[in-house]
Structure formats: structure tokens, C-alpha cells
Amino acid sequence: MDADKARKLLDEAELIHSAEVVSAAVSELAAQIKSKLADKNPLVLCVMTGGLIFCGQLLTRLDFPLEFDYLHATRYGPDTQGGKISWRSAPWTSVKGRTVLVVDDILDEGVTLAAVKESLRRMGAEAVLTAVFTDKLNGKQKPISADFVGLTVPDRFVFGFGMDVDGAWRHLPAIYAMKEDT
């Protein structure tokens, strides 16, 4: 997406959650995660690329021992509709016998996160918990519920705070929804 198109898209978008609301939600999630995992020395796995912004900010608020790694599994690529799961990178750190916290940007239909969780269990993880920053209220039956959820978002195409639109605006500190066609 070129810069002019990206600016126009943001100018026309609707603010769903401000940067202040987003930051407060990250802090609240960190407190919830700390109360559950502070004594577990968990392996925190960031789901690339969407989970990067949330995970980076979350990690700075977790003041207990943990290890960090990443994985890359996606159903989207350049598209706005989910398709077949594509595994691009498995974690480098062994999950065998570990408590694992998977961190991602959004729980949309839940297919990718469910597949990631099942794969980590097959790799020998003792426990797999999930933290998503947003849960989309799409009315669909999801194959998984996240253990930790920051905020909910409407059933619209949202972007910002890890979620992109055609490669743009992933880095925004707030969450927006694309303009609805009328």
C-alpha cells in the first residue's frame, strides 16, 4: 500500500480503542499473567508477526523469570480473509515439559491459535496457555478460547497494535476499524 492510500485509510477509519485504553489493558493482562505464571518460569512464544507489538509491551511488564522465543504461523499473508495455515517457523527453544504462554494479536476465528496450541502439545509442552490482545466479537463458534484477553473488538476489519491492513499501520498504539461501506 502506498503512503497516500495508507494515510487516507487511517483518516477515514474509526477509533475503536485509544492508545491509553490499549496501554491500560496491557498492564491489566500483565497482572493477570503474573498471578498465574510467576512461579512457572514459562516459555513465552510470540506469534509473528501480529503478536510482536503486544508481546514486546507485555514482556516489559512481566517482572518474573521467563524465557522468550517466537513462532510464525498464519492464515492470512497479504489477504484479509483467512485461508490454509502456513507454518513459517517453529520455536527454536524446546517446549518439552514446559509451561508455554502463546502471545498473539487477535482471536478472530481461532483456527490458527487452536492449531498452534495443539502442535505445542504434540511437541511435549506440559501446559499451553494463550494470551490474545483482542478477541473479535464475530458471533462464530471458535475452536479455542484464550486464557487471557485484553480487549474485545467488533466484527469488522481492525488494525493497529500489531494488526495490519495490507501491510500498513501495524505499529499504531491504538486500534482502528476500517470504514464500513454504506
Catalytic positions, written as ranges: 108
Say if residues 15 and 39 touch (Cβ distance below 8 Å).
Answer: no
Alpha carbon distance 5, 157 (integer Å): 16
Strand partners, 74: 86
DSSP 8-state secondary structure symbol assigned to residue 53: H
Question: Nearest Cα to 107, choosing from 85, 130, 89?
Answer: 130
Is 82:111 a contact under the CB 8 Å cutoff? yes
Here the cell at position 9 is 485509510
**Cα distance between residue 177 and residue 154, in whole Å:** 8
